[in-house]
Amino acid sequence: MRLESHPHSDSVVRLSGADPQQTVWIGAVPEPKTAKNRLHLDIHTGSVAELVELGASVLDDTLPWTVMAAPGGGEFCAFVRAEPPGQRLYELVLDANDPRAVATWWARLLGGRLTSDDGSSWALGEVPGAPFEWLVVNPSPDAKTAKNRVHIDVTSDDLEALLAAGARLLRPPDGDIGWHVLADPEGNEFCVFAP
């Protein structure tokens, strides 16, 4: 699947796929990047070289995957495949102080199947309508220190249920935005859009 680029405004670009779940919004962020992203993308690729040609840089190539940085500095991991699938987004990976609790919380919100191979990292798969195979929640001793530069958007018509489940309201719709900005129990921001 290839995403098509559509300018939305001077500072926002929308990348869209075949259906609404395959949409990525890229917006300018006025604050400089000061910390490792707590949420990053894992992607399928045919080669690391093709990503470098597009402007990415290699941060670590000593693992079974390659840790890279996009031109804006955001980290992502590249998984080289002999034949990459059309859907290049493989996983979303979230750092958490309590990965089991955070993964369980997101599983209740998104649905899907929660698993753990080692008891420390938790994966949420088979999420209905998701444009990724897995949401992986990894342990991290680091505290969240800055706004997430990558976040998840969800659709819901029941804001009160999200708040009752442990989300925290950070910003209601106002003159600048038409959606709610919430945070999960560890403070990771996500946006909620009405269906």
Tens-binned pLDDT, residue by residue, of the chain (195 aa): 567 888 888 888 888 877 777 788 888 888 888 888 999 999 999 999 999 999 999 999 999 999 999 998 999 999 999 999 988 999 999 999 999 999 999 999 999 999 998 889 999 999 988 889 999 999 999 989 988 999 999 999 999 999 999 999 999 999 999 999 999 999 999 999 998
Q: Which helix (H) or strand (E) segment is 45 a member of?
A: strand 39-45
DSSP state of 3: P
**pLDDT at res. 47:** 97
Q: Which helix (H) or strand (E) segment is 108 a member of?
A: helix 99-110
Among 186, 143, 149, smallest CA distance to 40 is for: 149
**pLDDT at res. 22:** 75
Phi/psi region, residue 28 (left: phi>0; alpha: psi -120 to 50; beta: rest), is beta
User: Range(s) for CATH 3.10.180.10 in the chain?
Assistant: 32-146, 151-195
**pLDDT at res. 87:** 85
Structural domain 151-195, CATH architecture: Roll (3.10)
- CB count in 10 Å sphere of residue 137: 30
Task: Look at the domain 32-146 and name its fold.
Answer: 2,3-Dihydroxybiphenyl 1,2-Dioxygenase; domain 1 (3.10.180)
Q: Token pair of 129, please?
A: 């309508």
**pLDDT at res. 80:** 98
* Residue 112 near residue 127, CB atoms below 8 Å: yes
For residues 127 and 99, give the distance between their C-alpha atoms in angstroms, rounded to a whole number.
18
Q: Token pair of 128, please?
A: 């209905």
**pLDDT at res. 1:** 57
Could you tell me the sign of the dihedral formed by the alpha carbons of 144, 166, 133, 131, in that order?
negative
